Structure 1
Amino acid sequence: MIYLDNAATTRPYPEALATYTEVASKIWGNPSSLHQLGSQASRILQASRKQIADLIGVLPQEIFFTSGGTEGDNWVIKGVAFEKEQFGKHIIVSDIEHPAVKESALWLKTQGYEVDFAPVDQQGFVDVEKLATLLRPDTILVSVMAVNNEIGSIQPIQTISDLLKDKPTISFHVDAVQALAKIPTATYLTDRVDFATFSSHKFHGLRGVGFAYIKNGKKITPLLTGGGQETDKRSTTENLAGIAATAKALRLAMERQEEFTHKTSQMKQVLLQGLSAYEDIRIFSGQDQFAPHILTFGLKGVRGEVLVHAFEEYGIYVSTTSACSSKAGKPAGTLLSMGIQSQLATTAVRMSLDLENDMSQIEQVLTTFKIIYEQTKKVR
């Protein structure tokens, strides 16, 4: 088996699974309980929080645990909107955001908010000059992802941070789900970023766990109320075992980030060269200013899901861009925003690499693609 769908989810590190099992079986007290078992659980919870904070260069009190990226995005978009409603009801999100951000913003429109979508250029990068023209006195939130999940374009977060530097009344959110442990943290977690969201299973942690960064002093309305956990910002008993496993996975992933970048970049370059040799191939992901591990391309005249299943017959697992949208059978929204025609956008296939992949697998992928290319000749 060759697994090239790591942007959808990664295989948990064995060490993270071991941590989960140990904590789940031995530290089963509720962190909110006053007795010794609760105190023991609370200590592990806070130690995990501190480790994660230290790894990304923020304060422990700025880390809040969630169930993943989707909850985090929903919480920030809606929670900031509700909190700052008296100051304005205008929100800007980029046109290539994950559905968790886009759909949250569209839902807010039904609640009386105004939403503008910042356009991107033909390569999939937010046009900062056009974003600047959308800013208004009543703008309360700007949300731009760090790394696009469909083509891997690294967004100009520092440039947007500079744009918002003298606009302290506007909150700035970054969906960093595809960025953490993949590109340098400083490129997307700038001093101007107020909120950021992360998901454990993207860096070899477990599914169903994530965390949000909320800068000290920034207010947000809770979506979950009840027991007052997470300093009353997110009520529900914490997934202690999953959180501890997240801290372990993040430490390991950050230790291997330089190796990850070097190795995946090399494999991506070989894939790019191999695929570009075919006449009917359209490459959507570049090398410069793109994540090292994501490569999206299309085979003209062949729908993406057809190519996915063709690869699967040879034990190679890829995806049609966003995993969250693939079953809907819709063309990649990012490609449409880039001006790619719908018919070509439906051909998109995403390969996403990891340290567990190697050059022998890449060679096998290219050999297999040559067979598939010939098999689809009549269709094309």
Structure 2
Amino acid sequence: MIYFDNSATTKAHDEVLQTFVEVNKNYYANPASIHAFGVEVNELLDAARSQIASIFNTKPEYVLFTSGGTESNNFAIFGVAKANQHIGKHIITTEIEHASVLEAYKSLEKEGYEVDYLSVNKNGVISLDELREKLRKDTILVTMMHVNNEMGAIQPIEEAAKIIHEHSRAIFHVDAVQSFGKLNIQFNGEAGPDIISISGHKIHGLKGTGIIAFQRKLNIVPYIVGGGQEFGLRSGTVAVPQAVALAKACRIAFENLQENHGKFTKWRDDLIDYFKTFGNHIYILSSKEGAPHILSFSIRDLKGEVIINALQKRGVIVSTSSACSSKQKKTSHVVEALKVDPHFKEGVIRISFGAKNTEEEIEQFKAIFKDVMKELKGV
């Protein structure tokens, strides 16, 4: 099997799984307990938190463990919006965000918040001028994904951060679920985000793990109340094995970032050039300026399911543009925002690379795809 659906989820590294099992076996006490065993487990949790904080250039007390990207995004959006509504109720995001952001914003809209949605160009990138124009004195939150999960567009995070911090009091929240481990993403004063969300299972970690990290102390409403864990912002007994395994996955992703970036870029550019040999039969949504690990394309007048099934019969696993909504029959909101030609909009396929893919698989895929095009299009 050739697995090219790593933006949906990745296979966990053996080292991550081993860490998870070891901690479960040997460090199972509650980290909030005051006995020596509990203190030992809490020290392990603190070490994991510190390791992640150093990667993101922040303090350990500004790193909170969550159940994944969706919770982290919801945490940031609801927490900031509700804590700062005395300043204003104007919030900004983009047209092409993940559902965990868009649905949160729609929920706030129903509660009386005013939302502006930034448009994108044909490459999926926002206009910084539009962002500047939309910012107001009562803007309290801007949420933006660093890398689009469906077609790999990279947003100009540093430039956006400077504009947001210069022209408003808004908190800048970046969804880095698809970028961490592939692109540099850290806190960087006024030239960086105030909040970062990531998910473990996108970086060869475990499903059900994630973090929300802050650059500094922020006014934010607790997400879950109860025993006051996670600095009073997310109550509940902390899942230490998951946290330590996530720290391991983060370290591996961070240490191998440059190597993987180089490989993924080479493979993506190679396949873009290959797809172009099929002329107007294929429309390529991604570009060589986008994220290196995501390549989305469409075959004229074919539905995505047809292409997926044809590849799957030959042992290749890919997805429609977003696995999170792949079972829905409607066209993706990202495809609509990009104004894709009607002949191509129903057949968008996403290839996404991970650390376990190889050069040989790229060559094998080309041969397989040639057979698929003969079968489906006669070319």
Q: State the TM-score, normalized to the length of structure 1.
A: 0.96
Q: Where does residue 240 of structure 1 map in the other structure?
A: 240
Residues 58, 187 of structure 2: 8 Å contact kept: no
Q: Where does residue 150 of structure 1 map in the other structure?
A: 150
Which amino acid in the other structure matches residue 282 of structure 1?
Answer: Y
Q: Does 1:22 align with 2:19?
A: no
- Give % identity: 38
Quickly say closer, same or farther: Cα 1:269–1:189, change in 2 above 3 A: farther
Q: Where does residue 64 of structure 2 map in the other structure?
A: 64
Shift of 1:167: 3.6
2: CA distance, partners of 1:71 / 1:189: 25
Shift of 1:184: 1.6
Quickly say closer, same or farther: Cα 1:189–1:352, change in 2 above 3 A: farther
2: CA distance, partners of 1:12 / 1:297: 27
Which amino acid in the other structure matches residue 282 of structure 2?
Answer: I
1: CA distance, partners of 2:30 / 2:373: 56
Q: Where does residue 285 of structure 2 map in the other structure?
A: 284
2: CA distance, partners of 1:189 / 1:100: 26
Matched residue of 2:227: which SS? Answer: coil
Residues 140, 169 of structure 2: 8 Å contact kept: yes
2: CA distance, partners of 1:345 / 1:97: 18
Q: Where does residue 40 of structure 2 map in the other structure?
A: 40
2: CA distance, partners of 1:241 / 1:43: 13
1: CA distance, partners of 2:188 / 2:122: 22
Q: Where does residue 54 of structure 2 map in the other structure?
A: 54
Residues 124, 335 of structure 1: 8 Å contact kept: no
Which amino acid in the other structure matches residue 240 of structure 2?
Answer: L
Matched residue of 2:360: which SS? Answer: helix
Q: Where does residue 73 of structure 1 map in the other structure?
A: 73
Shift of 1:59: 1.3
Quickly say closer, same or farther: Cα 1:283–1:108, change in 2 above 3 A: same
Aligned length: 378
Matched residue of 1:345: which SS? Answer: coil
Shift of 1:191: 4.3
Shift of 1:3: 0.5
Q: Where does residue 331 of structure 2 map in the other structure?
A: 331
Which amino acid in the other structure matches residue 269 of structure 1?
Answer: D
Q: Where does residue 7 of structure 1 map in the other structure?
A: 7
1: CA distance, partners of 2:170 / 2:64: 21
Q: Where does residue 312 of structure 1 map in the other structure?
A: 312
Shift of 1:329: 2.7
Shift of 1:189: 8.5
Of residues 334-343 and 151-160 in structure 1, the stretch that sits farther from structure 2 once superposed is 334-343
Shift of 1:168: 5.1
1: CA distance, partners of 2:321 / 2:161: 28
Shift of 1:344: 2.2
Q: Where does residue 118 of structure 1 map in the other structure?
A: 118
Within 5 Å, give how 1:99-178 maps onto structure 2. Answer: 99-167=99-167, 169-178=169-178
Q: Does 1:254 align with 2:251?
A: no
Of residues 78-87 and 191-200 in structure 1, the stretch that sits farther from structure 2 once superposed is 191-200
Residues 16, 246 of structure 1: 8 Å contact kept: yes
1: CA distance, partners of 2:49 / 2:3: 31
Q: Where does residue 88 of structure 1 map in the other structure?
A: 88
Q: State the TM-score, normalized to the length of structure 2.
A: 0.96
Structure 1: gaps (5+ residues): none
Shift of 1:314: 0.8
Residues 151, 321 of structure 1: 8 Å contact kept: yes
Q: Where does residue 198 of structure 1 map in the other structure?
A: 198
Q: Where does residue 218 of structure 1 map in the other structure?
A: 218
